[in-house]
Amino acid sequence: MTSIVQEWAARLPLRHQGVLVSAVRGCDTALRHDDSKLLSRCLRAEFLVPAVDNPGSYIEFVDEQTLLRRMNVFLNSWDHYPMHFVMHILHAAAVLGYHHPVHWDVWLRFYRAGCKKLHLNPETKEQMDARLTAAEPDFQAAQDARLAPEVSP
């Protein structure tokens, strides 16, 4: 029995795999041939095993120039997408960028460009791996964002 996840991805820690799987779903508010859907098809090709020999509707293998064009279009026209979707794509790009055995460079560049566009510092591989492999109580605590109580002058 084979897995839907490529062998290299199956060897990743489970939370890393979860980040990739979370990005599989395309943007719900986008049309079928929207630029985000085209990029999602490329992302799936990096870690999923296609059900047929020549996929093209759910998983799409493209050359690097086409991938770069799709990445650039997405980066420069993402204002109308839900932030939740954008973050899933960027987090998956980070996992691919730091762990993909072949196409890591283009995904790492995409991740860093996305962080720059959002005015954020990208995580290093070590930071991402530490966050995703943290003990469950620490992982859960890191997800809880709260403002500190206001301090009176």
40: tokens are 């999602």
User: How far, in Å, CA of 91 to CA of 46, rounded?
Assistant: 14
CA distance 40 to 25: 8
| One-letter amino acid of 15 | R
Report percent pLDDT > 70 for the chain. Answer: 99
Distance CA 57, CA 23 (A): 16
- The verdict on residue 101 lying in a domain is yes
In a domain, 1, yes or no: no
Residue 2 is assigned to a structural domain of this protein: no
Residue 146 has pLDDT above 70, yes or no: yes
- Does residue 60 sit within a domain? yes
pLDDT tens digits, 86-109:
999 999 999 999 999 998 999 999
Give the pLDDT band of residue 121 (cuts 50, 70, 90): very high
- What pLDDT, in 10s, does the model give residues 24-41? 998 889 888 899 999 999
Extract long-range pairs of 120-124: CB within 8 Å, 24+ residues apart: 122/94, 123/94
Instruction: Determine contact, residues 143/132, Cβ cutoff 8 Å.
Output: no
For the chain, what is the domain count?
Answer: 1
Give domain status of residue 144, yes or no. Answer: no
Token duo for residue 63: 């050359």
Q: Is residue 145 one of the residues assigned to a domain?
A: no
CB 67 within 8 A of CB 106: yes
Within a domain: 153: no
Q: Is residue 50 part of a domain?
A: yes
Range of the domain at 64: 7-134
The pLDDT of residue 149: 77
pLDDT recorded at residue 33: 82
**Per-residue pLDDT for 4 more than 70?**
yes
Distance CA 142, CA 84 (A): 17
Confidence at 138, pLDDT banded by 50, 70, 90: confident
39-75 burial, b at 16+ Cβ within 10 Å, e below that, comes to: bbbbbbbbbbbeeeeebeebbbebeeeebeebbeebb
